Amino acid sequence: MDFYHESVLLKETIESLNIKEDGIYLDGTVGGGGHSSEILKKLGQKGLLIGLDQDIAAINKSQETLSQISDNYKLFKTNYENFEEVLDSLNIEKIDGFLLDLGVSSFQFDKGDRGFSYKVDAKLDMRMNQDSSFSAYDIVNGYSKEEISKILWDYADEKWANRIAEFIVNARKTKKITTTFELVEIIKNAIPASARRKKGHPAKKTFQALRIETNNEINILRNTLDRMIDRLRPQGRICVISFHSLEDRIVKDTFRYKFLDCICPKEAPVCVCDKEREINIITRKPITPSEEELKNNNRSHSAKLRVAEKI
């Protein structure tokens, strides 16, 4: 199966990056190269695109796509949290733009053996980086009932989190849960029939939470954004596309903090914190997909783009 991912908010993101012909831009989630292709088309010979992805299938597809446009790009198989090591290896101190598209590619969802989809029977996996030794199997078969319940609630707002966790723990006493369909059946049994008849697949939220936990997505985002802002040149921009309310809140809160020029208590007579404003927030409200995009790309529905510019 080919690697395919329909880039969400493509036009809006490229416009928001405010690309300079001789600039340096880093796409931390290069995927199939959709956004990166459009960045590369706008770069001259002195410009550079750096693409990162922890999925080797994404790197291979991006190489194939970008090589048809120009050669002023470099690809690295690594998680975007390691961007500083990549920039340092290239002797690059500051860059003109960062892009993060936090969505999961259609390829990862649809390819049977990756275990991301509740619609395809496969081994419980969900690793974006297939060199990792930790998978969804380890969560489902190793976490306590309380730990499973917590991630289902925190990462998916799953109303039936506690009950699903209880059913998972009880089921694995008999045998290990090894496949996606085994897990789907347990989830269906845990959720009352009246609730299962409502809109959406009953396993959707559980699978989302397991994927986020497997790949440590929330913690990586939380620990990386401010470091990216630090490596931007003046007037450089950072664009983040999120698909989850918790991701969006992390982006919004990080941007707000970096925008503040004082964090002293309101009752303090004078400022003593030495905090300085580092960015201007370009998107007071997040940019969301147009009606046309929502109609043509079902997976764009929860997408939100936030943009900030380094002072």
Over residues 112-169, the pLDDT tens digits come to 689 999 999 999 999 999 999 999 999 999 999 999 999 999 999 999 999 999 999 9
CB 306 within 8 A of CB 245: no
Q: What is the mean pLDDT of the chain?
A: 94
Helices (H), the chain: 10-17, 34-41, 56-66, 83-89, 106-110, 136-142, 145-156, 161-174, 180-190, 193-196, 204-214, 217-230, 245-259, 291-296
Same domain flag for 250 and 306: yes
Same domain flag for 83 and 230: yes
Adjacent-strand bridge partners of 287: 305
**Domain span at 263:** 10-107+218-310
Over pLDDT 90: what percentage of the chain? 89
DSSP state of 123: B
DSSP state of 78: S
Residue 241 lies in a domain: yes
Same domain flag for 46 and 72: yes
Query: How far from each other are the two terminal CA atoms of the chain, in whole angstroms?
Result: 44
Same domain flag for 290 and 144: no
pLDDT computed for residue 4 by the predictor: 54
- By DSSP bridging, strand 73-77 and strand 279-281 are unpaired
> Looking at the chain, how many residues does it have?
311
- Element holding 24 (H helix, E strand): strand 24-27
Same domain flag for 244 and 281: yes
Nearest to 205 by CA among 168, 167, 153: 153
- Element holding 299 (H helix, E strand): none
Q: Rounded distance, CA 246 to CA 255, Å?
A: 14
User: Which of 189, 214, 239 finishes a domain?
Assistant: 214
**pLDDT above 70 (res 107):** no
Q: Which residues contact 244 (CB under 8 A, 6 or more apart)?
A: 102, 155, 208, 212, 302
CB 48 within 8 A of CB 25: yes
pLDDT computed for residue 298 by the predictor: 85
Same domain flag for 179 and 42: no
Residue 300 lies in a domain: yes
Q: What is the CATH number of the domain that holds 62?
A: 3.40.50.150
The larger pLDDT score, comparing residue 306 to residue 5, is at: 306
Same domain flag for 201 and 181: yes
Residue 3 lies in a domain: no
Residue 165 lies in a domain: yes
193 burial via Cβ count (<10 Å: 0-12, 13-18, 19+): exposed
Q: Read off the pTM.
A: 0.94
pLDDT computed for residue 105 by the predictor: 72
Residue 262 lies in a domain: yes
Residue 297 CA, chain-centre distance (Å), reads 18
Same domain flag for 103 and 242: yes
Taking the C-alpha atoms of 255, 257, 261 and 266 in order, what is their torsion angle to the nearest 10 degrees?
Answer: 140
The average pLDDT across 65-74 equals 97
Same domain flag for 247 and 202: no
Same domain flag for 38 and 177: no
Q: Which residue has the tokens 């799953």?
A: 158
- Amino acid present at 221: L
Residue 124 lies in a domain: no
CB 30 within 8 A of CB 51: yes
Q: Rounded distance, CA 288 to CA 299, Å?
A: 12
Q: Rounded distance, CA 308 to CA 130, Å?
A: 32
Provide the 3-class DSSP secondary structure of residue 302. coil
Q: Which residue has the tokens 């905090």?
A: 275
Taking the C-alpha atoms of 154, 157, 163 and 167 in order, what is their torsion angle to the nearest 10 degrees?
Answer: -70
pLDDT computed for residue 1 by the predictor: 44
The 10s digit of each residue's pLDDT in 240-286 is 999 999 999 999 999 999 999 999 998 989 999 989 999 999 999 99
**Domain total in the chain:** 2
User: Which of 188, 214, 240 finishes a domain?
Assistant: 214
- The pair of structure tokens assigned to 32 is 């199939």
User: Which of 169, 193, 214 finishes a domain?
Assistant: 214
Residue 30 lies in a domain: yes
Residue 113 lies in a domain: no
Q: E strands of 127-277, at which residues?
A: 232-242
